[in-house]
Amino acid sequence: MKQDPPRAPSPGIDPSQDQFDLALQAAREAKTLDELRQAQSIILPQLAGLTQEQTAKSLGTSRSTLIRLQKRPVKNAQSKDHRGGRRNAIMSPKEERDFFKAWNHEIRENPPELVNQISEALAQKLGRKVPKTTLYRLLHKYGWSKQKTRSLTSEERPDKVPTLLDLAKATGYSKTTVSLALRDSSTLPEKTRRYIKTLANKWGYAPDPNMEKLMEKVRENRRNRTPDIIAYLTAYQDRNDWQKNPTHRAYREGAYERARQCGYQLEEFWLNEPEMSAHRLSEIIRQRGIEGVVVAPLPQSRPSLEAFRWHYFSAVELGYSLQHPSLYRACNHQFQSMQLLMRELQKIGYHRIGFAMEEDQDNRVQHNWKGGYLSALSGKTAPEEAPFLLSRDWNRKRFGQWFENSRPDAIVTTGPEIQRWLKELEIPYPEEVGLAHVNLTPAMQEVTGIDQQSQQVGFASIDLLLSLMRNNERGVPQSPRSFMVEGKFRPGTTTCSQDS
CATH code of 404's domain:
3.40.50.2300
Least trusted range by pLDDT, from 33-37, 108-112, 493-497: 108-112
Q: Which residues share a beta bridge with 355? A: 388, 412
Predicted confidence at residue 379, as pLDDT, reads: 66
Taking a C-beta distance cutoff of 8 angstroms, is the pair 264, 227 a contact?
yes
pTM beyond 0.75: no
Would the pLDDT of 99 be above 90?
no
Residues 61 and 94 in one domain: no
Please report whether residue 383 resides in a domain: yes
Q: Establish if 269 belongs to a structural domain.
A: yes
Domain coverage including residue 405: 334-453
Residues 339 and 319 in one domain: no
Instruction: Check if the beta carbon of residue 204 is closer than 8 Å to that of residue 159.
Output: no
Instruction: For residue 244, give the 3-state DSSP assignment.
Output: helix
Query: What is the overall mean pLDDT for the chain?
Result: 82
pLDDT for residue 487 = 93
Which band of pLDDT confidence, cut at 50, 70 and 90, is reported for residue 269? Answer: very high
Q: Is 435 left (phi over 0), alpha (psi -120 to 50) or beta?
A: beta
Report the candidate in 245, 251, 364 with the shortest Cα–Cα distance to residue 302: 364
User: Among residues 490, 344, 350, 487, which one has the least CA distance to residue 429?
Assistant: 350
Helix (H) or strand (E) holding 467: helix 454-470
Question: Is a pLDDT exceeding 50 seen at residue 182?
Answer: yes
Residue 34 has pLDDT above 90, yes or no: no
Predicted local confidence at residue 237, as pLDDT = 85
Q: Is 50 exceeded by the pLDDT of residue 148? A: no
With respect to residue 212, please indicate whether it lies within any of the assigned structural domains. no
Number of domains comprising the chain: 5
Residue 181 lies in a domain: yes
The lowest-confidence range among 89-93, 202-206, 262-266 is: 89-93
Confidence check: pLDDT of 3 > 80: no
Closest CA to 344 of 369, 376, 378, 374: 376
| pLDDT average, residue stretch 60-79 | 75
Residues 6+ apart with CB under 8 A from 85: none
The reported pLDDT for the residue numbered 88 is 44
Read off the pLDDT of each residue in 79-95 and give the average, rounded to a whole number. Answer: 58
Question: Does the residue 246 lie in any domain?
Answer: yes
- Is residue 232's pLDDT more than 60? yes
314 and 340 fall within a common domain = no
Residue 149 lies in a domain: no
Could you give the CA distance from residue 317 to residue 299 in angstroms, rounded to a whole number? 13
Instruction: Confirm whether 218 is domain-assigned.
Output: no
Written as one letter, the residue type at 333 is: H
Whether pLDDT at 84 is above 60: no
Q: Are 255 and 461 in contact (CB under 8 A)?
A: yes
- Which helix (H) or strand (E) element contains residue 413? strand 410-413
Whether residues 247 and 315 share a domain: the answer is yes
Residue 156: its pLDDT value, please?
54
Q: What is the pLDDT of residue 154?
A: 41
Helix extents (H) in 204-295: 209-225, 246-261, 278-287
Instruction: For residues 377 and 468, give the distance between their C-alpha atoms in angstroms, rounded to a whole number.
Output: 39
From 95, 115, 141, the end of a domain falls on 141
Is residue 129 predicted with pLDDT exceeding 90? no
CATH number, residue 310: 3.40.50
- Residue 271 contacts residue 278 (beta carbons within 8 Å): yes
Burial 236-251 (b: 16+ CB within 10 A, else e): beeeeebeeebbbbbb
Q: Report whether pLDDT(312) > 50.
A: yes
> Is the same domain home to 66 and 93?
no
Rounded Cα–Cα distance for residues 284 and 276 (Å): 10
Parallel, antiparallel, or unpaired: how do β-strands 488-490 and 482-485 relate? unpaired
| Mean predicted confidence (pLDDT) in 196-209 | 81
Mean pLDDT of 265-288: 91
Q: Please tell me whether residues 272 and 345 are part of one structural domain.
A: no
CA distances from 302 to 2, 295, 322, 361, 460 (A): 75, 13, 5, 12, 22
Q: What is the CATH number of the domain that holds 203?
A: 1.10.260
Residues 424 and 386 in one domain: yes
Task: Give yes or no: residues 58 and 129 share one domain.
Answer: no
In a domain, 176, yes or no: yes
Whether residue 318 sits in one domain with residue 344: no
Q: What is the pLDDT of residues 318-347, one digit of tens each?
A: 998 888 899 999 999 999 999 999 999 999
Dump pLDDT digits (tens) for 363-402.
888 899 999 999 998 766 665 677 889 988 899 999 999 9
Query: Within this chain, do residues 128 and 160 fall inside the same structural domain, yes or no?
Result: no
